Amino acid sequence: MSRGVIPPAFSSTLVLFSLVACGGARQEASVPGPARPVNSPSSVLTATCRSMSYERGTMDVITGLSFALRVVTFQVDEDTEVVVRGGRGELADLAPGKVVRIEYRKTPQGNQADRIEEVLDSTEMR
């Protein structure tokens, strides 16, 4: 027997063990995953209020993304829950410079804010 040549019995055994270890050469039918829920899941973003437009029902916030800043617009309406200092608040209580935590969902019309909580007022940092 010369070096470098694998005997046929050894190679057959190696192939057999490989098939057993890897689960064999089988093909499973693909099963579709669960259907997407009708209501999109809620997301949370902490950002600084940049501006409010009561006429359009929007709120622009500034948030950090890696080494950049970005502006994100949220749709707000009378169903949006506002929390200021642990109590119920109004949209008028939110002003530029306030740090807010926004629970929102993505809709075809844009980001819909479900809950906005004031986390910190920029005047409190001075």
CATH number for position 74: 2.40.50.140
Any domain includes 35:
no
Q: What is the pLDDT of residues 88-119, one digit of tens each?
A: 998 888 889 999 999 999 999 999 999 999 99
Q: What is the mean pLDDT of residues 26-39?
A: 50
Domain tally, the chain: 1
Any domain includes 77:
yes
Any domain includes 58:
yes
pTM for this one?
0.63
> Cβ-count burial of 63 within 10 angstroms (0-12 exposed, 13-18 middle, 19+ buried)?
middle
Any domain includes 51:
yes
Note down the domain range covering 102. 43-125
